[in-house]
Amino acid sequence: MKRIIRVNTRTGEITEKAPTEQELRWGGRHFIAKTLLNEVPPTCEPLGRYNKLIISLGLFADTNLSTAGRLSIGGKSPLTGGVKECNVGGNAGKRLARIGVKAIILEDIPQEPKTRILFVSADEAKLIDAPHLKGKLVDETFEILRKEFGERSGLICIGPAGEMKLYAAGIALSDDRGEQVRYAARGGLGAVMGSKGIKAIVIDDSKQVEPDYYDPELLNTAVKEVFRILQEDPKSQNRRKYGTLDILEMANNLGLLPTRNFSSGQFEFAGNMTGPRVAELIKERGGCGKSGTPCVPGCTIMCSNVFPDKEGKKIVASLQYESVVLLGPNCGIGDIDDIAELNHLCNQVGVDTIECGAAIGVAMEAGVLKFGDAEGAKDIVRQIGEGTYLGRIIGNGAAFTGQAFGVRRVPVVKGQAMPAYDPRGLKGNGVLYATSTMGADHTAGNAFETVRTHNPLAREGQVQISRQLQIRAALIDSLGVCLFVRPAFIKKKELLSMLCKGRYGWDMSFEEIKRMGVDVLETERKFNELAGVSEKVKRMPEFMREEPLPPNNEVFDIPQEELESIWEIEMDPETF
């Protein structure tokens, strides 16, 4: 992966250069963090000239390592005002790797509004005016692009929400089969892409570039071993059967399931949307429904699904835990078909389901519509795409909606909505939301995996646990693999050294590799500090510290000073 492509969206100039030895060592999230700190003024306007949208491949994107085709997309976040990296599936990552691209950096903004496509192949990168795509929904856009550029194209695009620069806008990726829509959902990166006048990126890998593995045999051994461990791992097996919804029942039982704008941790209709129930429905309904499908080419976990309606026609693919909880229980909506349709609508207008579900929950609390009003919620999501006044309010996220309607109970940190774990019911995730460089974001170090080994309601130990999880997540996001690959590295951490040696010839101990995760966090923290959005000033919402959450009736009670001490904890060099 020898190509770093820079696109000046103002002048139209496109340049390419090979990574330096240093840049080569920065994959995915690591590359984004370094590029932001080195090139983007931390106080710049997120939708202005000086922000950059950075698309970056993981260190192993051009190998057969399971899930390594995932892509990191980042920039300064409009929502949080700090760094943002989203790790996303879809087919674009693999396509980019095959044509030797390490990163694409979109710079500046056009002087007049534009709707353009960035086309990238092994031989060229060019901007194409595409006024016919203006305002198109995500599926419409993908369909047009497949017609114009071929079925095999790697596709990235934004919906109308991104074009309108709404802060809840995400960036959509297609899979190989035109089946799933995957999202670099969080932090408003769709608005950053929109500000640069790029409606879509099309990757043509009909001509490919040969990867230059240092030791193909060693690499292959490690890749196969990861595959083997994941195949045997019971958690991975459950994910294939039940998808990410596998955890919903336990989350509800533990009382941490965000319900009716984070006013309860249990939902009376949770049974309608558990992993087993959804898998059962998919099986019963048949048609195009399926469980256990990959979101990225070559994934062995295959936690995605295609969720059909009663006639077997696809409603949405894939139905995931976070989206279901924020659009369902958090809005008091208990019918899985309603939830799936809401999810589909979000995917089409191009907004983050977490942010949108949280915003609708806040609007429901304000009385704009009633909790449980599924049709009202669908109407609102459609309105986002139409750019009505209400649509623009909700499309700008939960904090914005709270301000519009004078709601005090707004579940955000750093302006970004909390995902599907109430921090009062899973205090480790409270630590994460409050201290992560990403704002409230479970992917930065989800403590849910610790609930069996560590009391989620205990104050003690959570900061230490979160530190460990955050370092690991930062590392995994830099390798470019899915967080769900971690069981392989937990079981055999020497696999990481083998991968580095086999792919690049680097001799790196586990500790050295792990230290990359620390470097990511330190780089991101530095950027956030300069941007004025450190955890010292952007804190847990007050209601989370005051209002006990049923049924456990706990508040988030880890003191601010203890939260801030997280950065003083030394990395544990041994455990993954």
Q: CA 177: distance to chain centroid?
A: 21
Is residue 367 a contact residue for a second copy (CB under 8 A)?
Answer: no
Give the separation between CA 474 and CA 480, rounded to whole angstroms: 10
Report in angstroms how near the CB of residue 233 gets to a second copy at its nearest. Answer: 42
CB neighbour list of residue 178: distance below 8 Å, 6 or more residues apart: 142, 143, 146, 151
Rounded distance between C-alpha atoms, residue 493 and residue 513, angstroms: 10
Residue 353 CB, nearest approach to a second copy (Å): 20
Cβ nearer to a second copy, comparing 47 with 508: 47
Shortest distance in whole angstroms from residue 192 CB to a second copy: 12
Residue from the set 132, 224, 228, 408 that interacts with a second copy by CB under 8 A: 408
Helix (H/G/I), strand (E/B), else coil: 94: helix
CB of 131 to a second copy, least distance (A): 18
The span from the CA of 388 to the CA of 333, in Å, is 23
First and final C-alpha spacing in the chain: 27
| Site stretch for a second copy (CB under 8 A), options 10-18, 331-339, 354-362, 534-542 | 534-542
Whether the CB-CB separation of 316 and 343 falls below 8 Å is answered with yes
Out of 213, 227, 269, 405, name the contact with a second copy by CB under 8 A.
Answer: 405
Q: Does 221 bind a second copy (CB under 8 A)?
A: no
Please say which residue, 163 or 341, places its beta carbon nearer to a second copy.
163
Strands 154-157 and 171-174 come out as antiparallel
The pair of structure tokens assigned to 544 is: 């989370």
Residue 89, C-beta contacts closer than 8 angstroms, at least 6 positions apart: 67, 69, 70, 173, 175, 180, 182, 294, 295, 296, 299, 304, 482
In the complex, the smallest distance separating the C-beta of residue 212 from a second copy, rounded to whole angstroms, is 41
Check residue 392 for interaction with a second copy (CB under 8 A). Answer: yes
Confirm if 15 and 2 have CB atoms less than 8 A apart: no
Of 49 and 459, the one with the shorter C-beta distance to a second copy is 49
Q: Which of residues 181-220 bind a second copy (CB under 8 A)?
A: 191, 194-195
- Beta strand ranges found along 393-454 (DSSP E): 412-413, 416-417
Cis geometry, peptide bond prior to residue 534 (ω within 30 degrees of 0): no
Q: Are 419 and 447 in contact (CB under 8 A)?
A: no
Among residues 538, 554, 563, 576, the one that binds a second copy under rule CB under 8 A: 538
Check residue 11 for interaction with a second copy (CB under 8 A): no
Please report whether residue 400 would count as binding a second copy according to CB under 8 A.
yes
The number of residues that bind a second copy (CB under 8 A) is 39
Q: Which residues, 104 to 163, sit near a second copy by CB under 8 A?
A: 109
3-state secondary structure of 431: helix
Residue 167 touches a second copy, criterion: CB under 8 A: yes
C-beta closer to a second copy: residue 234 or 389: 389
- Residue 295 or 399: the one with the smaller Cβ distance to a second copy is 399
Residues lying near a second copy in the complex (CB under 8 A):
43-45, 47-50, 109, 164-167, 191, 194-195, 388-390, 392-393, 396, 400, 403-406, 408, 530-534, 536-539, 541-542, 546
